[in-house]
């Protein structure tokens, strides 16, 4: 989901993996009324934490990080020192690379790394 922009709208990025998510693209229209539940789990972004942060995301799993980066646009000076690693198989699957570059361009304390596993292999902990 997108970051709160104060306009009463929310944007979702959904990967079509099964019957239901495949049908959403054909059947759901902009402005449609929907019921949303969650969030579930503990994925909590806190500003002001000291020290360098390492964010690792793969594929569609990058969307919460995009929301965080969007929320930091209003106050770039509050952005933590971050290394964001976006891991995808290849450039064709890097659907959010352009958006990430655009967001990070305005956040000097955030360094973006895009890793293509087909060319570079899967990242190892020491590389992060």
In a domain, 102, yes or no: yes
Residue 33 lies in a domain: yes
Q: What is the CATH number of the domain that holds 79?
A: 3.40.50.80
Residue 3 lies in a domain: no
Percentages helix, strand, coil for the chain (3-state, rounded to 5) are 35, 15, 50
Q: Is the pTM of this model over 0.75?
A: no
* Residue 5: pLDDT over 70: no
Could you give the number of structural domains in the chain?
A: 1
% of the chain surpassing 70 pLDDT: 86
Q: Quick check: is 1 in a domain?
A: no
Does 121 reside within a domain? yes
Structural domain range at position 31:
19-127
Q: Which residue has the higher pLDDT, 116 or 43?
A: 116
Assigned domain for 37 exists: yes
């Amino acid at each position: 989901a997108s970051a709160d922009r104060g306009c009463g709208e929310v944007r979702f990025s959904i990967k079509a993996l099964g019957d239901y998510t495949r049908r959403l693209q054909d059947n759901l229209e902009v402005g449609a009324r929907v019921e949303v539940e969650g969030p579930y789990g503990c994925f909590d972004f806190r500003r002001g934490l000291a020290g360098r942060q390492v964010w690792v995301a793969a594929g569609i799993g990058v969307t919460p990080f995009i929301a965080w980066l969007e929320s930091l646009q209003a106050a770039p000076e509050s952005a933590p020192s971050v290394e964001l690693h976006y891991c995808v198989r290849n450039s064709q699957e890097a659907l959010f690379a352009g958006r990430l570059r655009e967001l990070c361009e305005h956040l000097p304390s955030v360094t973006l790394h895009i890793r293509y596993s087909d060319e570079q292999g899967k990242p190892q902990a020491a590389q992060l």
